[in-house]
Structure 1
Amino acid sequence: MNNLSTPLEVTQFIMKILGLIPARGGSKGIPGKNIKPLGVKPLLQYTFEAAKASKLLTKVILSTDNENIVKTAKKIGLKVPFLRPKELAGDNTPSLDVILHALDFFEEKGEKFDAVCLLQPTTPFRKAGLIDEAITRFSEGNYDSLVSVREVPDDYNPHWVFEEKNGGLKLATGESEIISRRQDLPKAYHRDGAIYLTKTEVLREQHSLFGKNIGFIDTTGSAYVNIDNPSDWEAAEQLLKQK
């Protein structure tokens, strides 16, 4: 056995992780979004370049239903081992089903993975090293899953958010008293869509993308956009100019 020293080396030795980039062809908000040029590169290339730079992903592939996306992927060197069935490429297709389809494909060929790292092209800007930092934390913490998150501004903290009830309001947390001081608010986070890491056994046995023991990596402060509509695309273009 090799004498491993650093966390990255230990993680690499122990875990086989599939890097999965999902890119369906039926985007309605921005037609052809995944291969539309953002700056000088197609959108999905940003995510592929981040994945390719990882030392801890065992394999990186694209899952798509669209031949035009396949052509673009092959031009940039992104592997496309299968064409995703149309029934797994709808607006409401769960990410879990897309992941399980990829795992099934490889297991039929005798290749198994300990975990899957889902990397969505719609979050194109990831700081250098983020993927390997997330994988190391995921492995060391022995989490069921790990997600990338950003801090929720205090004004939107769930302890200060109300829900409607019988024509009135109640605290979204279910607490009877509101936290009055900003300094006493606990930190709250929202998923940013950049990284979802999940153990294969959790995906299969719990049929869940998260499981019960969820780790996180905080990306607050780094460049961020999650592209869903034309205004998001404009924000991404502005970020590129700033960078």
Structure 2
Amino acid sequence: MKNRIAVITARGGSKRIPKKNIKEFCGEPIIAYAIKAAKESHIFDEVMVSTDSKEIAEIAQRYGAVVPFMRSKKNADDYATTEDVIMEVVDNYRRIGKEYAYVCCLYPTTPFITGDILKRAMQIMEDKKPSVVIPVVQFSYPPQRCFIIDEDGYAKFKYPQYVKTRSQDLEKEYHDAGQFYVYNAEKLFEKKGIIEDDFIPIVLPEICVQDIDTLDDWKMAELKYQVLKEQKHGLY
């Protein structure tokens, strides 16, 4: 069996939502949900948190993750990409004699992640061997019907050729759910962290996806989480 690691990327210094990665979400620090999902999947040799914050590291360890090294200053600024962080983690593990074939990157503000969806993603990775497995969600409104606003303040269709096309006849389009990525480590390094193709999606239901960039987003995510919890049939 290939060696597999879960890496939760959680730097400090959030500006729009102070201490976002450890802010309480429905009773627990939000990072705890990603840690628990990774551990409950029982598919990882290690569940670690990459952070530059001692406070985040302490909370992560309390919930069962390991923090064997802190993130470098270079990859703790606003310009470092997710792939930069993951490659740094893999390199650091290699220096201490640990090699991982598959790396699952989880974002810390994703309370909808479950162990089951992580197992599904990893199974796809091992069966198909793409560069990355990525969760996606369908656009709630057809992008082909979008408006743009001109310099005079008038709205118009960006794609007028679709004005008379029925919604059900338009091609379905999807976007990144922003929750996790399962990387093939070898291919990640071969492509120097720039993956533009060779990825396989997992389609998630809209209620299980919520960007959390503002306090309003946070409240919406909590409402969605509570609804799903009350339904008692799991998040996926």
- Pair in the same fold by TM > 0.5: yes
- Computed over aligned residues only, the root mean square deviation of the Cα atoms, in angstroms, reads 2.4
Secondary structure of the 2:177 match is: strand
Out of 122, 142, 153, the position equivalent to 1:156 is 142
CA contact (8 A) 1:127 1:222 kept: no
Deviates further, 104-113 or 119-128? 119-128
What percentage of residue pairs aligned between the two structures are identical? Answer: 31
Residue segments in structure 2 that go unaligned for 5+ positions in a row: 230-236
Are 1:64 and 2:65 matched, yes or no? no
Give the partner amino acid of 2:126. S
CA distance in 1, matches of 2:86, 2:51: 12
Q: Per-residue CA shift, 1:190-223, capped at 9, x if unaligned?
A: 1111221121122211123535211010111543
Q: Is 1:186 aligned to residue 186 of structure 2?
A: no
Q: Which moved more, 1:201-210 or 1:228-237?
A: 201-210
Q: Does 1:102 align with 2:86?
A: no
1:227 paired residue among 198, 205, 212: 212
* Matched position secondary structure for 2:193: coil
Task: Name the structure 1 match of 2:66.
Answer: 79
Residue 117 of structure 1: which of 104, 127, 133 is its match?
Answer: 104
Shift of 1:144: 1.4
CA 1:142–1:31: 2 relative to 1, 3 Å: same
Residue type of the partner of 2:183?
T
Question: For residue 21 of structure 2, what is the aligned residue in structure 1?
Answer: 34
Deviation at 1:128, TM superposition (A): 4.7
Matched, 1:145 2:106: no
8 Å contact kept, 1:124–1:225:
no
Partner of 1:217: 202
**Aligned partners of 2:111 and 2:194: how far apart in 1?**
21
The 1-side partners of 2:128 and 2:170 are apart by 26
CA distance in 2, matches of 1:209, 1:107: 21
Structure 1 portions without partners, runs of 5+ = 1-12
Distance 1:198 1:165 in 2: 41
Q: SS state of the match for residue 53, structure 1? A: helix
